[in-house]
Structure formats: C-alpha cells, structure tokens
Amino acid sequence: MVLNNIWINPIQEFSYFLFSVKDNQVHQGTGFFIEKDNQTYLVTASHNFFQDKFATQKTADFFYIRLHNNVTNKLEFLQINNNPISKSEKSKNLDINFYKVDIAKQYDLKIVKIKPNCLPTKIICYGFGVVDGNEDNPDLYLESLKPTEFKGNLKFEYNKPLRYFETNELDFDNYVVSYESGTLTKGTSGSPVFTNYSENGVIKSEFAGLIHLRNEQTKLATILRPEIIAELIDEL
C-alpha cells in the first residue's frame, strides 16, 4: 500500500474490532487478517479472549468481528469460534493467536502483507479501545465505534534483545516504543503496527508487529516483532 508523505487513514482499514460476552463480562480487542496458501487467518493477541498469553483458559467460547458488507453497504457482526490454531513450540510463550477463517466474499477484508526484514524507528497503529456496551445493546459497537490512532518511537536499539531488570531475562520476541501521540487503552491489544520507509522517493507503509502490552504510567508499549510473526506464519 502506497501512502502520501504523511500518515493517513487507510492504515486503519487493516484493524478490525473484536468483542465477546460471557456471564455479563465483555472482552474487547483488535485483530487483523493475513493469508497463506489461499487460506485466510484472523490474528489477535492471545490474552484478548483467553486468561493469558498462553491460551490455556478461554474467557469466551466465541467472539464477534465487525465487518463491512459490500452488498448491503452496512457494518455487520460475524461470529468466530474461539478455537485458534494450537500453539507450537515457538508460539507457546507468545501473545498471539491465529484463527483459520472462511469469510464470504461480500465482506471487505484488508489483508496485511508481512515481511520479516522490517526495521521500525517510528510506528503507527489503530486500535479499538474499550467502550460501554453489552449483548443487549450492540448498536454501541456497530456504527459509532471508531479506531483510535497511536504513534510511537523506538525506545531501545531494535537489533538487541530486551532485558528485564526484575528477572535479568532476555526477550528476543518483542520491542518497546515510547508514546509520541495518542494512547493505547484496553481493547487495543492485537492491533497491527506499521512503520514507513522511502522507496524511489515514495513513502510506503510496512507491517511492524502486533501490540502486546502497554503501560499508561510509563508511556511505553511492547510490540511483538514482525519477523517473529513471519516465522509463525511459515509454521501454519
């Protein structure tokens, strides 16, 4: 996708609103679509609809995704069974789930293209923050909910792993950005992240990961690396 020399809204079309309701508990998140071998997959953070990133205990048996119907020209909800592809040895500790989906062609799907050699310095993403609503009042989710914009700057050198001070553990799977503008509220986990680069004088966008965690106090966000996601897609 080619962009102008500033960030513009078409990036937000890759982000999709997800929510579930079980026992009057509403869980929300953001997801995106990828393709491999003519099969479409929905991707989101594991903790959106499971108790944690390990995806061992569901918070709902199914969830909904909001899609645009090109035939009726309306937004609609489709139900997705909460049965992601089983975690592999590589993905078992990562906050990401892949759902194999077969969605009718009348629904507008924007597919994210993932390259493993992205080196982000500045990022942008669009996610769907939590709003008040429930299964009896879905209109709050259907028409009025819009994605919010977040921009960040690379906090540490990308080619080096993160080191956690509490445990001295090295993290080779995620990177950290500091907030530049906007915010990442609950519900934005799983959002696709993008960066830009110049090619022959044209500014283009490139996939740069998935929102994993955010800390509103420190104004830092942790992002699952695009090359790690590319490796997981190769396993599908």
The total of structural domains in the chain comes to: 1
> Do the domain assignments include residue 158?
yes
> Do the domain assignments include residue 2?
no
At residue 40, the pLDDT reads 97
Domain that holds residue 139: 9-235
Q: Rounded to 5 degrees, what are φ and ψ at 78?
A: -115, 140
> Do the domain assignments include residue 165?
yes
The reported pTM is 0.90
> Do the domain assignments include residue 4?
no
Cα separation of 232 and 57, whole Å?
A: 21
What separation, in Å, do the N-terminal and C-terminal C-alpha atoms of the chain show? Answer: 25
Cα separation of 46 and 44, whole Å?
A: 6
SS3 51: coil
Statement: residue 12 has pLDDT above 70: yes
> Do the domain assignments include residue 90?
yes
> Do the domain assignments include residue 214?
yes
pLDDT in tens, 65-82: 999 999 999 899 999 999
Can you give the CATH number for the domain in which 32 is found?
Answer: 2.40.10.120
DSSP H helices, the chain, are 139-142, 226-235
> Do the domain assignments include residue 184?
yes
| Count of alpha carbons within 13 angstroms of residue 67, beta-carbon side | 22
> Do the domain assignments include residue 200?
yes
Cα separation of 70 and 74, whole Å?
A: 7
